[in-house]
Amino acid sequence: MKAFLIFIFIIFLYACSDNSDQKVNGNIKEPSTESDERKDEPEIAKGLITFNSVDKAFVGMDIKDLLETYKNYQLLDTPAYYFEIDSEERELVIAKDNKPLMFVWSKDDEVVELCAISPSLRTKSNLRPGMTIKEIKEIYSDIKMSQDIVTGNTESIYIPQEKVALCFFTEQKTIGIYKDSDETGPMTSEFKSDTFRVNYIQTRK
């Protein structure tokens, strides 16, 4: 538990270290209209978060290619359950100058999920780690938060327009005000405060 709280604290401080209104490659890109044949192809761009890619990494990438791509970065051994994954295995956090960039979950030597940690990473609509719920509402006004029923360590806001989840580390106290629950767990559009900040953004179809 102590190690988990220290890990949360490090990521929280880093996420809060850059609240500037930066944009991916200097511009907010408008959603593209891709053909059905190409809609699941990863869109690789420096600093960009999509539903199946983060920066130069993407879901389906061979782990050897990932390690080669980020050979000049630090590779930190991290428990998978820190990132809402029901597993006791340890996976990788890619970091630069001791600042976490992303979490990588792999199976059978292939990337299956990515979590963007650095505030330098952005979606096309400018969603980013470190932003507040208030800032999220300025981009998407109709948002709902759910509580993770597997690990109990996180709450998240799923953005269907971009197919990503904005995740918040929580422990004993929740961010959302929960009244109802469905098969996926408690869900709400009411928050105790709009000042809570996103800890990481998870790729999710």
20-64 residue pLDDT tens: 444 444 444 455 545 554 567 888 999 999 999 999 999 999 999
- Residue ranges per structural domain of the chain: 2-24+42-203
Query: How far is 126 from 136, CA to CA, in rounded Å?
Result: 9
CATH top class, domain 2-24+42-203: mainly beta
Residue 21: the pLDDT is 46
Residue 163: the pLDDT is 95
CA torsion 115→121→127→132, rounded to 10°? 80
Residue 102: the pLDDT is 97
SS (H, E, C) 48-91: EEECCEECCEECCCEHHHHHHHCCCCEEEEEEHHHHCCCCCCEE
pTM score over 0.95: no
In terms of residues, how long is the chain?
205
End-to-end CA distance of the chain: 30
Residue 65: the pLDDT is 97
Residue 183: the pLDDT is 61
Residue 10: the pLDDT is 53
Task: Give the chain's residues under pLDDT 70.
Answer: 1-39, 86-88, 90, 150-151, 180-184, 205
Q: Confirm if 59 and 66 have CB atoms less than 8 A apart.
A: no
Residue 116: the pLDDT is 98
Residue 9: the pLDDT is 45
Tokens 């996926």 sit on residue: 184
Residue 171: the pLDDT is 72
Residue 181: the pLDDT is 66
Residue 79: the pLDDT is 80
User: Beta partners for 166?
Assistant: 157, 201
